[in-house]
Amino acid sequence: MIFISSISAAEGREEHNVCSIVLLCSYYMRLIESVPNFSEGRREEIVRQIIEQANKYPKVKMLDWSMDKDHNRSVVTIVGDPDQVLDALFDMTKKAAELIDLRYHKGEHPRMGATDVIPLVPLVGTTMAECVEWSKKLGERIGRELNIPVYLYERSASVPERENLSEIRKGEFEGFFEKIKNPRWKPDFGPEKVHETAGVTAVGAREFLIAFNVELGTNNVEIADKIAKAVRNISGGYRYVKAMGVELKEKGIVQVSMNLTNYKKSPIFRVFETIKREAQRYGVPVVGSEIIGMVPLQAIVDTFSWYLQLDEFSMNRVIEQRLMDEITKD
């Protein structure tokens, strides 16, 4: 296995950012991706202790990690051998439970657990069905050994109403002490009692997800809420978009914070252009955007092609993609 990455320094720390090729692997390699979210985005020393757990495993590579002070949340991207990824995720969850006390946690992003969510995504030589089984294995271990209630979501959901993570998360940490008493919200694994400091955790298999945020030149969060409502699926927007308005107090602006759960059917450029048009209604400019974590190359190529109005442009025209195709030929 060959991992190709660039290392850049930002605010005194090293971050591993994938160039164009994340990895090259042989036909027999088996790889999955996971993007665990932790409810800490202000104390770097805590986040570092959590992510250090993944570095103990030789067949697990950390591709990216980021902190957000306003959201008070960290997002980590790891890939590797399924067995070692599961062990790394368990150790990270254990360390987060030791270091994060949700009774004192405040942030703009909804949360219900110290380790809030753990998705598993099939990459190479693995299937969605396998990821579903691995999510159940990990969830059962977290519940049994850490005494943290676990809910299966997305493709792993035990009942349809648990497919949507936001439905599970409703009420957040504070509301879960009462919510968990309802038979409908009996955990899939672990105790039927919320962990006093670490809350509850969601684990599940899913497709690639793009965390995409658009910043607006205003401090009026109601405008961000209205625009989020216009683009999110649940209120009549795009089928594969989840969105909410968020106040970025440190920057003095607001943000439309989104998850694009299928970038092929709800592409970045279409969602972005809709937000721009909606913002114009309120006399508000778009002042920036950001992607949290990793993004598939195809999503970048699609956006590039659309904005430059390129005819018949495809992944085959990307030199790094062609190099990978040549190197991995039988």
Residues ≥6 apart with Cβ < 8 Å to 277 = none
Please check whether residues 54 and 188 belong to one and the same domain.
Answer: yes
pLDDT bin (cut points 50, 70, 90) of residue 319 is confident
Q: Inform me whether the pLDDT recorded for 15 exceeds 80.
A: no
Question: By C-alpha distance, which of 124, 123, 104, 128 is closest to 114?
Answer: 104
Lowest mean pLDDT among 19-23, 27-31, 313-317, 321-325: 19-23
Counted domains in the chain: 2
Please check whether residues 254 and 288 belong to one and the same domain.
Answer: yes
- How many residues in total does the chain contain? 330
pLDDT bin (cut points 50, 70, 90) of residue 16 is very low
Mean pLDDT computed over 59-75 = 95
- Give the residue ranges of DSSP H helices in the chain: 44-51, 82-99, 128-146, 165-169, 172-179, 221-231, 268-281, 297-308, 319-327
Residues ≥6 apart with Cβ < 8 Å to 297 = 20, 315, 318, 321
Mean pLDDT computed over 206-211 = 93
Asked whether residue 325 is assigned to any structural domain, the reply reads: no
Mean pLDDT computed over 38-47 = 98
- Report the chain's terminal Cα–Cα distance, integer Å: 15
Please check whether residues 228 and 187 belong to one and the same domain.
Answer: no
* DSSP designation for 108: S
Residues ≥6 apart with Cβ < 8 Å to 32 = 79, 80, 82, 85, 120, 121, 122, 123, 126, 131, 134
Q: Inform me whether the pLDDT recorded for 34 exceeds 70.
A: yes
CATH of the domain at 219: 3.30.70.670
Mean pLDDT computed over 289-294 = 91
Q: Inform me whether the pLDDT recorded for 14 exceeds 70.
A: no
Mean of pLDDT over the chain: 90
Mean pLDDT computed over 235-259 = 95
Helix (H) / strand (E) element for 34: namely strand 31-34
- The pLDDT of residue 22: 45
Mean pLDDT computed over 41-60 = 97
Range of the domain at 256: 210-295
Please check whether residues 171 and 227 belong to one and the same domain.
Answer: no
Please check whether residues 18 and 101 belong to one and the same domain.
Answer: yes
- For 66, 175, 211, the CA distances from 23, given in Å and listed in that order, are 20, 42, 21
Please check whether residues 172 and 254 belong to one and the same domain.
Answer: no
* Cα(272)–Cα(158) distance, integer angstroms: 34
- The pLDDT of residue 108: 92
CATH of the domain at 158: 3.30.990.10
Q: Inform me whether the pLDDT recorded for 2 exceeds 70.
A: no
Last residue in a domain, options 179, 205, 231 = 205
Task: For 113-135, write each residue's pLDDT tens digit.
Answer: 999 999 999 988 899 999 999 99
Pairwise pLDDT comparison (301 vs 15), residue with the higher score? 301
Asked whether residue 142 is assigned to any structural domain, the reply reads: yes
Please check whether residues 122 and 144 belong to one and the same domain.
Answer: yes
Question: By C-alpha distance, which of 249, 146, 239 is closest to 199?
Answer: 146
- The pLDDT of residue 17: 37
Asked whether residue 315 is assigned to any structural domain, the reply reads: no
Asked whether residue 318 is assigned to any structural domain, the reply reads: no
pLDDT bin (cut points 50, 70, 90) of residue 294 is confident
Asked whether residue 307 is assigned to any structural domain, the reply reads: no
Asked whether residue 323 is assigned to any structural domain, the reply reads: no
Helix (H) / strand (E) element for 40: namely none
Please check whether residues 86 and 196 belong to one and the same domain.
Answer: yes
Query: What percent of the chain has a predicted confidence (pLDDT) above 70?
Result: 90
Asked whether residue 327 is assigned to any structural domain, the reply reads: no
Question: By C-alpha distance, which of 39, 35, 199 is closest to 108?
Answer: 39
Last residue in a domain, options 155, 186, 205 = 205
* DSSP designation for 186: -
Residues ≥6 apart with Cβ < 8 Å to 93 = 36, 114, 115, 118, 142, 146, 148, 201
- In angstroms and rounded to an integer, the radius of gyration of the C-alpha atoms of the chain is 20
- The pLDDT of residue 330: 56
- The pLDDT of residue 126: 94
* Cα(153)–Cα(185) distance, integer angstroms: 12
Q: Inform me whether the pLDDT recorded for 139 exceeds 50.
A: yes
- The pLDDT of residue 328: 62
Query: What percent of the chain has a predicted confidence (pLDDT) above 90?
Result: 82
The helix-helix angle for 297-308 and 268-281 (nearest 10°) equals 60
Last residue in a domain, options 205, 236, 254 = 205
Q: Give bridge partners of residue 120 from the DSSP assignment.
A: 34, 205
Please check whether residues 192 and 252 belong to one and the same domain.
Answer: no
Please check whether residues 139 and 263 belong to one and the same domain.
Answer: no
Q: Inform me whether the pLDDT recorded for 327 exceeds 80.
A: no
Please check whether residues 185 and 224 belong to one and the same domain.
Answer: no
Q: Inform me whether the pLDDT recorded for 20 exceeds 60.
A: no
Please check whether residues 99 and 200 belong to one and the same domain.
Answer: yes
Lowest mean pLDDT among 20-24, 79-83, 271-275, 295-299: 20-24
Q: Inform me whether the pLDDT recorded for 3 exceeds 70.
A: no
Q: Give bridge partners of residue 66 from the DSSP assignment.
A: 75
Residues with a catalytic annotation lie at: 109
Asked whether residue 308 is assigned to any structural domain, the reply reads: no
